[in-house]
Every structure is written in C-alpha cells, then in structure tokens.
Amino acid sequence: MHLTHRIALRPTPEQADYFKRACGTARRVWNWALAEWNRQYAAGQKPNAMALKRQFNAIKYSDSDWLDENGQPWLEGIHRDAHSQPFAHLQKAWKRFFKQI
C-alpha cells in the first residue's frame, strides 16, 4: 500500500530562474510586511493582512525599493500569488503567536 506520491520537478533553466525569482519575491515581501507590521504594532495600531496588502499595492510599482536598476517594477514578471500570500501567512503567524501567550 502506497501512502505517498512523489513528484519530481525537472524545470528548464528558464523555469528554474522564475522559481528563484518567485521565492525571492515572497521572501522580500514577507520581510517588508513583517517590518511594517512591527512598526505599526509598536505605534499602538492593530495591523492586519488586508490593510498591509493595500498599503503594499499602493507602493509596489512606484516606490524605489521595488524598482530594478532600470526603474522598472521587478514584480511585473512574477505571478501575484508570490507577493500576496505572505500577508496572509504573516497574519496567521501572529494569530498563532498570541494564541499561545
């Protein structure tokens, strides 16, 4: 009886590059969201995922931190899930943290 099913990815070099960029995007958005969450929390506000996502969406194509060396938004070529899921994951992490206190 088989209990698992293993799938091996064999991406082309272009796909492997895309996967790296998508993972890097998710990591960078998570770090931005965490810093912003901590800043708002320290200021006495109650941050939430949707508000942070709206704030991020307002700056992601114009803020210099999110533009490449040519002034182009580097999020354009990455699927939106890579930079939208970190907000939900961050809120879930905070809820779990406070649930254990």
User: Which residues have CB under 8 Å from 75's CB, separation 6+?
Assistant: 25, 60, 61, 66, 83
Sign of the C-alpha dihedral computed for residues 62, 17, 78 and 96 taken in this order: negative
Checking if the pLDDT of 101 tops 80, the result is no
Cα–Cα nearest to 56, from 78, 16, 79, 86: 86
| pTM > 0.75: yes or no | yes
61 vs 67: CA distance, rounded Å: 7
List the Cα angle 86/48/63 in 5-degree steps: 60
pLDDT tens profile 25-78 = 999 999 999 999 999 999 999 999 999 999 999 998 888 888 888 888 888 889
Within its chain, how far is the Cα of 94 from the centroid? 15
26 vs 28: CA distance, rounded Å: 6
pLDDT tens profile 82-98 = 999 999 999 999 999 88
